[in-house]
Amino acid sequence: MSRQNGITIEEVLKMDCMKNCKIIAGFKGIKNTISSVNVMADPDVISWVEEGDLLLMTGYSFKKITLQEQKNIIKESSKKGLAGIGIKVHPYLETLPSEVLELAENLNFPVIDIYYATPLSDIMTPIFNEIFNRQAYLLKKIEKIYEQFMNAMLKGQNIKDITNLIGDNIKNPVLVKLDVQDKEISQFELIESDKKDILFENVLNFYKNPNRYSEKKIDESNELLDSKYIKRIVVPVIAKDSVFGHIFAWGVNKPLGGYALSVLEIASTTIALEVLKILSVREVENRYKSEFIEDLISLDSKRKEKAIERASFFNLNRNDKFLSVTIKIKGKDNVEEKNFTKLDGVVNSLELYLSKVHDHIERSIRDLELTGVVASKTELIIILLSFKDDESIERALNEFSKQIESIDERFKSIDMSVGIGRVNSYLENFANSYIDSIKAISTGKILKENLVTNFENLGIFKILSQDHLEEELSKFYDGTIKPLVDYDEKKSTELVKTLQSYFDNNGNLKKMSDELFTHYNTVLYRVQRIMEITNMDLENPNDRLNLEISLKIKQLLGK
């Protein structure tokens, strides 16, 4: 049941109006919060009651309906999030059916036996008054809290100060985790030191579900911490219609109620403003870095020299070794288009993903103690990495690739393609590595390689992907495999697929037959037709090599 402002079942049972009333099922739901009271006039009441209602009725209403209808009322009431049901059992019934009580108990849905001599109106009015008084008091407190947070903003206090302010108000441990911060900011002063690690572990478990990074709803749950169930509230921090982190609060010292939730919501809005300030600063930094990278890869020698002169600002030594890692980002085909259109007429959602990936890349570079510059433009993130010698490059790239894979795992709404260029000595040659990384991305997609494609591992594609060879490659394709492609299109055959299977299985016709789910004699016939149409002999090493390369060229040219 989501959080309501009001009074709990447990507190209501202690009121004078509930004297002689008792809970007879669903005891574990005694902490459910009542935000309103309703009376059952007919069995259709479930269609218009609301979450947080305490539903009151008489045994006479229950007596008129079947056992199944009675169970449906309990089931649907629990499903809709009602706080509980109060039933005046006597004198209309001796007792409620055991099946009804058992169902309520299994659902942790409170059923209260109302004392027969107590009018329902004598229960409703006091409860309504108590709810009203509490909400009025809560509104006054919230107004003061709002002023506190606004004053903190006006005084320029940082997110750590705001986190402390949350903890001071709710008197419970608090942790703020943001994408734009390098670490969690916690306020754990009010708990024992041995419990702190338990809470940190609880945060890690929360993020094991990748959907947490984008869910915009408040999460409330009972967490088993140190052999005891503790209420936890997690409020997302939303800026530019995207989740940039969460505020965690645990009811370790005192219960988390409507007041605590209100404090967390106000804090979330306040922190979101701080996030926007951080993003604005990062935007300026990224613009400066992007200009540096663009000048460095420019064909204009003056722009390139200008970039080299600024290298010291980024702790780069002109004489070191450099390579490019380029990441291309796009929305997945199965993600609704509306998720990548302008939101509030201001920002493109894909740009937000780009910004988030950018932040994680920079964090990874710092964590791995690498020297580099990260710049974003349109759908690309260009990463310049600098090394003093060759020895550490391979290890660093392996670790960096793992970091990129973990980032890709986190952002499920986007497709990432990563290319690594060759190492080049001297900063002025970085453009060569950048071109290699772009080719690695294109070729990796064709070959359906892993997320990260290293240009050095492309084999013959390192040669075939050279831009100046495109015309020659097209001519080679036309003179080798194109007649086979045309024949397939005209006759609806699968000779090209058969030829690919031939090379995949080293010419083993039996394996080809199994792979293609085709009779051995049919495969043999197809191989003969391939040689006739292409006028090449698969027994001839040169012809065989030409046909195999032509298949790769077909992939590369997208034919």
The model's pLDDT over 212-254, given as tens digits with 9 standing for 90+, comes to 877 889 999 989 888 888 999 999 999 888 888 999 999 988 8
Q: Residue 498: which H helix or E strand, with range? A: helix 495-504
Same domain, yes or no, for 258 and 309? Answer: no
| CATH classification at residue 378 | 3.30.70.270
At residue 26, what are phi and psi to the nearest 5 degrees?
70, 40
Same domain, yes or no, for 449 and 474? Answer: no
Write the pLDDT tens digit of every residue in 295-350.
Answer: 999 999 999 999 999 999 999 999 999 999 999 998 765 444 444 433 333 344 67
pLDDT of residue 332: 67
Contacts of 210 (CB under 8 A, 6+ apart): 409, 410, 412
Write the pLDDT tens digit of every residue in 18-53.
Answer: 999 999 999 999 988 888 898 876 667 777 888 889
| CATH classification at residue 484 | 1.10.10.2840
Tokens found for residue 432: 């060569």
The answer to whether 440 and 461 have CB atoms below 8 angstroms apart is no
Task: With respect to residue 57, please indicate whether it lies within any of the assigned structural domains.
Answer: yes
The arithmetic mean of pLDDT across residues 445-449, rounded, is 69
At residue 307, what are phi and psi to the nearest 5 degrees?
-65, -40
pLDDT of residue 228: 87
Task: With respect to residue 288, please indicate whether it lies within any of the assigned structural domains.
Answer: no
Q: Distance between CA atoms of 436 and 486, rounded to whole angstroms?
A: 33
Same domain, yes or no, for 120 and 225? Answer: no
pLDDT of residue 348: 47
Same domain, yes or no, for 481 and 420? Answer: no
Write the pLDDT tens digit of every residue in 248-284.
Answer: 999 988 888 778 888 999 999 999 988 888 888 888 8
Same domain, yes or no, for 19 and 163? Answer: no
Same domain, yes or no, for 473 and 454? Answer: no
| CATH classification at residue 179 | 3.30.450.40
Same domain, yes or no, for 355 and 453? Answer: yes
Task: With respect to residue 427, please indicate whether it lies within any of the assigned structural domains.
Answer: yes
| CATH classification at residue 118 | 3.40.1390.20
Q: Distance between CA atoms of 134 and 139, rounded to whole angstroms?
A: 9
Q: Distance between CA atoms of 57 and 485, rounded to whole angstroms?
A: 77
Cα separation values, 409 from 196, 211, 302, 403, 415, Å: 28, 11, 41, 10, 10
At residue 61, what are phi and psi to the nearest 5 degrees?
-60, -40
Task: With respect to residue 294, please indicate whether it lies within any of the assigned structural domains.
Answer: no
Write the pLDDT tens digit of every residue in 477-503.
Answer: 888 989 999 999 998 999 999 999 999
For a pLDDT cut of 90, what percent of the chain falls above it?
43
Q: Residue 202: which H helix or E strand, with range? A: helix 193-206
pLDDT of residue 43: 62
Same domain, yes or no, for 96 and 208? Answer: no
The arithmetic mean of pLDDT across residues 7-14, rounded, is 92
Residue where a domain terminates, one of 399, 433, 458: 458
Same domain, yes or no, for 110 and 252? Answer: no
Task: With respect to residue 149, please indicate whether it lies within any of the assigned structural domains.
Answer: no
The arithmetic mean of pLDDT across residues 59-63, rounded, is 83
Q: Residue 458: which H helix or E strand, with range? A: none
Same domain, yes or no, for 254 and 313? Answer: no
**Domain with 496 in it:** 469-557
Of the pLDDT bands very low, low, confident and very high (cuts 50, 70, 90), residue 114 is very high
Task: With respect to residue 359, please indicate whether it lies within any of the assigned structural domains.
Answer: yes
Of the pLDDT bands very low, low, confident and very high (cuts 50, 70, 90), residue 291 is very high
Task: With respect to residue 550, please indicate whether it lies within any of the assigned structural domains.
Answer: yes
Same domain, yes or no, for 406 and 505? Answer: no
pLDDT of residue 83: 92
Contacts of 144 (CB under 8 A, 6+ apart): none
* Tally of structural domains, the chain: 4
Q: Distance between CA atoms of 456 and 430, rounded to whole angstroms?
A: 16
Same domain, yes or no, for 166 and 47? Answer: no
A 10 A CB-CB count for 418 gives 27
At residue 83, what are phi and psi to the nearest 5 degrees?
-70, -35
Task: With respect to residue 503, please indicate whether it lies within any of the assigned structural domains.
Answer: yes
pLDDT of residue 4: 52
Residue where a domain terminates, one of 244, 278, 312: 278
Question: 201: burial class by Cβ within 10 Å (0-12, 13-18, 19+)?
Answer: exposed
